[in-house]
Amino acid sequence: MGTYQRPDGWEILGDPSRRAIVECLAERPRAVGELADTLPISRPAVSQHLKVLKDAGLVDDEAAGTRRVYRLNPAGVSALRDQLDMFWKRTLQGFEEIVEDDERNAVTEAPEQDEGKS
């Protein structure tokens, strides 16, 4: 269902392989073959993931001979993180105080007498 929002960061990082690639690229730039050798998936699979990541602006590629070195795009990464943070901001808005309060008690049994609807 695309009724909610356009494809967001969750779809991109929702895939474990993609997350692994990002983490791997966070260490240092790597060629496609290197990534494929590290990950438990084939090289074409890596290529496809890289395409998604590149399309999302998360990575940059750079030709180096017959190889093609990929690296994280800082701007894209921070932008995506920003986007995900927005979700938390919206979700925890007027709610985090309850979170902290609840964490102190460690018990979710706040005695309530009002259970009526709105």
Among 24, 25, 49, 58, binds DNA (CB under 7 A): 49
Among 27, 63, 94, 109, binds DNA (CB under 7 A): 63
Which two three-digit tokens encode residue 6?
Answer: 């356009």
Q: Three-class SS string for 14-83?
A: CCHHHHHHHHHHHHCCEEHHHHHHHCCCCHHHHHHHHHHHHHCCCEEEEEECCEEEEEECHHHHHHHHHH
**Which residues inside 68-107 make contact with DNA, applying CB under 7 A?**
68
Contact call for residues 84 and 10 (beta carbons, < 8 A) = yes
CB of 101 to its own copies, least distance (A): 7
73: Cβ–Cβ under 8 A, 6 or more apart, which residues?
57, 58, 59, 60
**Which residues inside 42-71 make contact with its own copies, applying CB under 8 A?**
60, 62-64, 69
Q: Which parts of this chain interact with its own copies (CB under 8 A)?
A: 1-5, 8, 10-11, 13-14, 16-17, 19-20, 22-23, 26, 28, 31, 34, 40-41, 60, 62-64, 69, 72-75, 77-79, 81, 84, 87-88, 90-95, 98-103, 105-106, 108-110, 113, 115, 117-118
